[in-house]
Amino acid sequence: MYAALVIAAKDLRQRFRDRSALILGFVAPIAVAALMSFAFSGVESFHADVAVIDNDRGRIATALRTALTGPELSGVLTVREADDEAQARRMIDDGAAGAALVIPAGFSAAAVGDEPIGLRVLADPDEPLQAEVARAVADAYVTQLNAGRLSVHTALAAGVPRSRGDELAAAVAGLRLPESLESRPTGHRQLTTASYYAPAMGIMFVLFAIGFTARSYFIEGRSGTLERIGAAPLRRGTVLLGKSLAVFVYSVVSLGTLAVVSSVAFDARWGPLLPAAALIVAMSTVLVALTTLVVAVARTERQADGFATIITFVLLLLGGNFVLISQAPEALRRLALLTPNGWALRGFTDLATGAAATSAITPVLILLGMAAAIGALSALVTCWRST
């Protein structure tokens, strides 16, 4: 074991003297995580600017405008008055509004009439989400209005005279659907971009260490270093163990440093210390197994570099390191669960949103199981090639 530690220490000294390894393991993850956090920070909050053109000026149209400017929507919606559609379109073109809601003439009268009149939405193609908000508001109010019309017609059928139309319109304007949405805390925090992309970028760059370590193994073989080590009373397994320990320590230190820096500098949440550390250790164990597999399969330095590149980018594309996996298509979300980085990100995401510390148990166990399976495959390949 002492010999393996000596070999690991030698590899770590070489790695920390290599500027490229320091950049890949420490500088680049922090820089890219910061860039991704700043680039996508706007998706954590949303606010829509909607222009309203009131061509009706009736009681129900006034009630709609009052509802749009009420305290319930003030946090997500700002209403801007427009005199006509031409002015609303200019506001959309200038960026002062992302969508416009047109209240047609006769809208209030239709509440007690036989034929409903709908609302129109003018949309900015560059702001599809704001247009969807405007459509949702319009659909909700028209649905409520139709329920009011049903009440009016029921009253008229019961014998209320049509001369009381204004009174009925006033009643409809004050109606609300019996169903309503109530906001309540779920006990979980919102996932911030920093909390997602900090571990995602850290995992991405430690995966690049697979190729770095595999190449160094073959470079040492070409330079005769492995032959000199082999001349000592050491088994090949001891040499591989030492190199594996170096990869493991490098990965743990890299992810651990990123966790501390991103938490302090970008307010990223990695979760409680122990489960987060367990995920880092489990992911680093998988990294060791993948490095061993590349060394076992490759015959040359170029092959090792090629295999490592393929493994790294396949895992990154499927595991969700580049995109928020919860917003990815269902097929990609399922494929992510076949990758170690996908499970690691799932664990970090659960911890970052306030899930119980025990939520990390399943990802950690699966990561360790993946490491064991990959390690067994590496052993089989090594035995097959040695026969």
3-state secondary structure string, 314-356? HHHHHHCCCCCHHHCCHHHHHHHCCCHHHHHHHHHHHHHCCCC
- Pairwise pLDDT comparison (99 vs 13), residue with the higher score: 99
Beta bridge mates, 28: none
Least confident of 96-110, 148-162, 367-381: 148-162
Per-residue pLDDT tens for 180-233? Answer: 445 555 456 778 888 888 999 999 999 988 888 788 777 766 655 555 555 554
| Tokens linked to 61 | 């149209």
Top-confidence range, 39-53, 60-74, 93-107, 180-194: 93-107
What pLDDT is stored for residue 134 in this prediction? Answer: 80
User: Is the per-residue pLDDT at 332 higher than 60?
Assistant: yes
Confidence of residue 177 (pLDDT cuts 50, 70, 90): very low
Q: Per residue in 338-362, pLDDT tens? A: 999 999 999 999 999 988 889 999 9
- Say yes or no: 63 and 32 in one domain: no
Share of the chain above pLDDT 90, in %: 24
Buried b (16+ CB within 10 A) or exposed e, 340-374: bbbbbbbbbbbbbbebeeebbeebbebbbebbeeb
Q: Does 16 lie in the same domain as 67?
A: no
- Tokens for 141, please give them: 């109010």
For position 181, what pLDDT does the model report?
45
Higher model confidence: residue 84 or residue 140? 84
- Decide: residue 383, CB within 10 A, 0-12 exposed, 13-18 middle, 19+ buried: exposed
255 and 286 part of one domain: yes
What confidence score (pLDDT) does residue 311 get?
A: 94
- Is residue 252 over pLDDT 50? yes
Domain-located, residue 337 = yes
Distance from C-alpha of 178 to C-alpha of 334, rounded to nearest angstrom: 39
Q: Are residues 242 and 344 in the same domain?
A: yes
Picking from 142, 174, 206, the residue at the C-terminal end of a domain is 174
- The C-alpha atoms of residue 350 and residue 370 are separated, in whole angstroms, by 20
pLDDT at 176: 54
Q: Where are the alpha helices (DSSP H) in the chain?
A: 2-17, 19-22, 28-39, 59-68, 85-94, 128-157, 165-173, 193-207, 209-223, 225-231, 236-266, 273-297, 301-319, 330-336, 340-352, 361-386
pTM of model > 0.75? no
Query: Do 156 and 9 share a structural domain?
Result: no
Identify the pLDDT of residue 178.
46
In this structure, is residue 238 part of a structural domain?
A: yes
Short-list 238, 241, 250, CA closest to 210:
250
Assess whether 217 and 306 both reside in one domain.
yes
Do 225 and 303 belong to one domain?
Answer: yes
pLDDT, tens digit, 9 for 90 and up, residues 104-156: 888 877 766 666 677 888 888 877 878 887 888 778 777 777 776 677 667 76
Q: Average the pLDDT over 257-269 and give the result.
A: 89
pLDDT above 90 for 9: no
Whether the predicted pLDDT of 366 surpasses 70: yes
* CATH assignment at residue 75: 3.40.1710
Q: What is the pLDDT of residue 203?
A: 93
| 182 falls within a domain | no
Burial class of residue 323, CB neighbours in 10 A (0-12, 13-18, 19+): middle
Q: What's the total number of domains in the chain?
A: 2
Are both 292 and 372 inside the same structural domain?
yes
For residue 85, the enclosing domain spans 47-174
